[in-house]
Amino acid sequence: MSETEVKVEGGSPASKSVAEIRSNEIRNPQFEIRNSKSAIRNSIVFDDVSKFYGEILGVNRINLQIAPGITSLVGPNGAGKSTLMNLMTGLLQPTRGRISILGTPTDQPEELFHKVGYCTQFDSFPRGYTGREFIESYLLIQGIDKKQAEILTTTALERVSLLDAADRKVAAYSKGMRQRIRLAQSLAHRPSVLILDEPLNGLDPIVRAETIALFRSLAAEGMHLIISSHILHEVDMMSDFVVLLSNGYVLAAGNIHGVRDEMDEHPMQILIRCDQPGKLAARVFAQDHVVEARLHDDLGGLFIRTRRPDEFHLLLNRIVAEGEINVESIGPVDDDLNAVYQYLIGSEHATR
């Protein structure tokens, strides 16, 4: 992933940590702000976008530039994920600001939807169609000839493992099958940008894994995938970038570890498995940047919280080199999406 803008603006009534994150643009060496024409042509750009439903806020002052790869929109219900997706595809029109997808404004459907496929969250279908007819019909209205539409339909059905059920009525499909047929319909015309609103809902574990593998392979080919999800560990597993939303505001955006590093007010929590955790606690607690040291319940490890993880790791290297304490493993405890989500949005919404 070579370039993406990670710029967070706007105001939210959320916690102090959120305000601090907001007030400082998240800078990460991996993400350089690029505004050149070629960068805009290769990315999805939100330029000061707001959407109000009458007096109700949908999203506010969104500035994002999303590069190819898998980008996940994460947030509780009502955070603005679906609104952002609907704005990206012209199903909603922004009250303020502009959006472009690979250089195309969202009010030009003729050009836009050659590039974009959108699998919405609406679990509804035109009446009376089989799976095959459903996909083929919407390819035909694009002006594709019948033969090509048949080939594209079969390929899409194959991709989501629905070829066997293709000639059954969609109304008779299970929830998971309906999810997959919508996915097939959104990618049948081979778009460069695939927008997926809760695409893993209703899928069984095996199909979930297959679907994630499909997303990864699509992303590896240079495709943009924008995915919204509540399932944090799956998002963590598959995403290159994460956009955290709450109450219509972007709280943070970027590589999840980069976002975590910026959260100074939440010292990094690290678990060290060792043979003498008490002794280690005494050594490390003398440091300014270590704000907490707590023994693990099984007394076989030590949780520490540090404001400067790099310095802490250097210290730990020295301690290990001295040979007094035998360290078995070291690992961050809260350097994942779930932790970031809890810090920024609140633990009551987190879903593992």
Partner 1 sequence: MSSTVDIVPSQIAKQPLRWSLRLRQLSAIFTLETSKNFLGKRAIIIYLLALLPVVMFGGAALAPRLTANFVGLHVAYAWIYAILILRTVVFFGCAWIFMNLFRGELVDCSLHYYFLAPVRREVLVVGKYLSGVAASTVLFVGATIISMLLLYFPHFSSESSRFFLDGPGLGHLLTYAGVTILACIGYGAFFLFIGLFFRNPIIPAILLYAWEWINFLLPPLLKKISVIHYLNSLVPIPISEGPFAVVVEPTPAWIAIPGLLLITAVVLVLAGYRIRHLEIRYGSE
Return all residues near 27 (Cβ < 8 A) that are at least 6 apart: 6, 262
Per CB under 8 A, does 124 bind partner 1? yes
Could you tell me the smallest distance in angstroms from the CB atom of residue 206 to partner 1?
9
Per CB under 8 A, does 138 bind partner 1? yes
10 Å Cβ neighbour count for 304?
26
d(CA 277, CA 288): 19
Tokens of 30: 């991996």
Considering the complex, state which of residue 123 and residue 310 has its C-beta at the smaller distance from partner 1. Answer: 123
What residues between 314 and 343 interact with partner 1 by CB under 8 A?
Answer: none
Per CB under 8 A, does 174 bind partner 1? no
- Which of 14, 19, 76, 125: binder of partner 1 (CB under 8 A)? 125
How many chain residues touch partner 1 (CB under 8 A)?
56
- Which of 3, 9, 47, 210: binder of partner 1 (CB under 8 A)? 210
- Which of 22, 81, 178, 189: binder of partner 1 (CB under 8 A)? 189
Per CB under 8 A, does 347 bind partner 1? no
What residues between 93 and 112 interact with partner 1 by CB under 8 A?
Answer: 93, 107, 109-112
Taking CB atoms within 8 Å and a gap of at least 24, the contacts of 120-128 are 120/85, 120/86, 120/91, 120/182, 120/197, 121/82, 121/197, 121/198, 121/201, 123/175, 123/178, 123/179, 123/182, 125/170, 125/171, 125/178, 125/181, 127/171, 128/169, 128/171
Could you tell me the smallest distance in angstroms from the CB atom of residue 72 to partner 1?
19
Per CB under 8 A, does 126 bind partner 1? yes
Per CB under 8 A, does 85 bind partner 1? no
Could you tell me the smallest distance in angstroms from the CB atom of residue 113 to partner 1?
4
- Which of 95, 192, 201, 287: binder of partner 1 (CB under 8 A)? 192
Considering the complex, state which of residue 38 and residue 93 has its C-beta at the smaller distance from partner 1. Answer: 93
- Which of 27, 114, 169, 289: binder of partner 1 (CB under 8 A)? 114
Considering the complex, state which of residue 210 and residue 311 has its C-beta at the smaller distance from partner 1. Answer: 210
Q: What's the DSSP call for residue 222?
A: T
φ/ψ of residue 50, rounded to 5: -130, 150
Per CB under 8 A, does 214 bind partner 1? yes
Taking CB atoms within 8 Å and a gap of at least 24, the contacts of 76-80 are 76/230, 76/246, 76/345, 76/346, 76/349, 78/247, 79/245, 79/246, 79/247, 79/248, 79/345, 80/245, 80/247, 80/248, 80/249
Per CB under 8 A, does 52 bind partner 1? no
d(CA 40, CA 4): 10
**Binding string, residues 142-171; x marks residues near partner 1 by CB under 8 A:** xxxx--x---------xxxx----------
10 Å Cβ neighbour count for 320?
16
CA neighbor of 247 nearest in space, from 75, 95, 46: 75
- Which of 21, 39, 84, 218: binder of partner 1 (CB under 8 A)? 218
Task: Say if residues 256 and 242 touch (Cβ distance below 8 Å).
Answer: yes
Considering the complex, state which of residue 135 and residue 272 has its C-beta at the smaller distance from partner 1. Answer: 135
Q: Which residues pair with 51 in a beta bridge?
A: 59
Residue ranges in contact with partner 1 by CB under 8 A: 53, 86, 89-93, 107, 109-118, 120, 122, 124-128, 137-138, 140-145, 148, 158-161, 185-186, 189-192, 207, 210-211, 213-214, 216-218, 220-223
